Amino acid sequence: MANTTAVYARIDTNLKENAENILHQLGISPSSAIQMFYSQIVLTKGMPLDLHLSYRKPTAIGNMSREELDAQLDKGYESVKSGKSYTADEVDKLMKEEFQV
């Protein structure tokens, strides 16, 4: 048996449940996910994340209520119906200008 040790952390209950739901769908146990995260820290010799102060940032769909998401989808649908649309290149340009991504 491999030499292992326990890692204990306190995190928000909803965050834990949401993350574990996604991990389950991916077929990855929470222990394996933590092992992967730690392995990437060692491999990259740092945090395997892009950590920076955010600019104005777009709203993540996961942070929207069902009503907010429906409202945004309706807004987009009405925009397309009225003939207002963007190419992928135009969206990329707008995202770079607006959010530096």
Q: How many helices (H) and strands (E) does the chain have?
A: 4, 0
Per-residue pLDDT at 36:
94
Residue 11: phi and psi, rounded to 5, are -135, 165
**Domains in the chain, CATH or no CATH each:** 1-49 (1.10.1220.10), 61-99 (no CATH)
Sign of CA dihedral 56, 60, 61, 65: negative
- ∠ Cα 9 38 46 (to 5°): 110
Per-residue pLDDT at 30:
95
What pTM was estimated for this model as a whole?
0.49
Per-residue pLDDT at 2:
78
Q: Quick check: helix, strand or coil at residue 46?
A: coil
Reading the block at residue 23, the tokens are 């991990």
Q: Higher pLDDT residue, 90 or 101?
A: 90
The alpha carbons of the chain give a radius of gyration, in whole angstroms, of: 20
- pLDDT digits 0-9 by tens, 28-52: 999 999 999 999 999 999 988 876 6
